[in-house]
Amino acid sequence: MSAKMNTYLLRIVNQTDCTKEERQDMFDEMYDHLTLIKQTYVEQGYTEKEAEEMAMKEFGHEATIGDGLQQAMFPYRRELLLILALGSYLFVCVQYFSILFVENVANYWLFMPAIAHALILFFSLNKTYIVNRKLWLNLSLVLHLLLMFVFAFPHFNDELSWHIVFYSILGGTIFLIYRTALTYSFGNSSVIKKRIIHTVNITIGFLLLIGIGLILFAFLLFGDLHPILLLNMSFPFIIWGIVYAIQIRLANKSSKWLNICYFLWIYALLYLAALIFPIYLPELLASDLNDLLFRVIYPIQIFD
């Protein structure tokens, strides 16, 4: 294969939100098709170089093909990302200027979510990357969700319509996180397993974030955020991330250990139970069981 044809095909596959293995499969399939077209022109009397140029011209422009492949996998992805980024930024601007004009207070921290807005715009407007776009786009969406929730909650207005807009933005972000993670170029048993892994782990991640976020918020209001408390709260996310990465890696390799690895979800479920019962529903369990679950949340004790 010539360097020019290799670059041509790479520009096509690099526009898709696919894993390295999926891009390689797409590359090989298009290479075979392109080679057949080239061979047809060679048999008609053209030189190798001329046949290659004519084959690529017949195949189509790389940007058009790559964009078409991505749109087929995730229709209107770019449009949804643009609406989310620009709509969220407009929502933040309205908050800022409303508070500025009404209360004469400049809350510059309201523009913290603009960091995530810029990242989402970057991934929606640019087509070709050398990085794993699916991973980095989802990280940008998670950052957007966190920053919007922390910094852009509509305290300035009690009208229901503003809260509906705010939660619609959060809901749209969550939808795009799931949709991006579950997008694959083809379907087989391995892809089905990876979609299950993504769905369960993302859901567990959100539940952990909500449960731990409520605890940290309560300590922030009524107590001190002790460093050991923050360390305890970080354990489930570290374990969750490790389990998530191991499961995806095993799924990519179609490893026999994947089914056993599913049992690692038990820790996350136990942690969620430990969050709910000892803190929010302590009366439903015996005191000894509550103490045991409490130690799951706080493996490093800060009290005597």
Residue 52 burial (CB count, 10 A): 22
Alpha-carbon gap, residue 67 to 30, rounded angstroms? 15
282 pLDDT higher than 80: no
28 or 298: which leads in pLDDT: 28
Alpha-carbon gap, residue 237 to 271, rounded angstroms? 11
pTM: 0.77
21 or 164: which leads in pLDDT: 164
Residue 237 burial (CB count, 10 A): 13
For 6-10, the CB contacts below 8 A with 24+ separation are 8/56, 8/62, 9/34, 9/62
For the chain, where are the alpha helices, taking DSSP H only? 3-13, 20-43, 48-59, 62-73, 77-103, 114-125, 133-151, 160-181, 189-222, 227-252, 258-261, 265-280, 287-297
Instruction: Return the pLDDT at 129.
Output: 55
Per domain, the residue ranges of the chain are 3-69, 74-177, 187-304
pLDDT digits (tens, 9 = 90+) for 34-84: 888 888 888 888 888 888 888 888 888 776 787 777 777 778 888 899 999
- Listed in sequence order, the residues at least 6 apart from 293 whose beta carbon sits closer than 8 Å to its beta carbon are 270, 273, 274, 277, 278, 285
Among 108, 65, 82, 39, CA closest to 176: 82
Percent of the chain at pLDDT above 90?
Answer: 18
- Please state the φ and ψ torsions of residue 45, each to the nearest 5 degrees: 110, 0
Whole-number CA gyration radius for the chain: 25
pLDDT digits (tens, 9 = 90+) for 162-197: 889 999 999 999 999 999 888 876 656 678 888 899
200 or 71: which leads in pLDDT: 200
Most confident of 166-175, 199-208, 263-272: 166-175
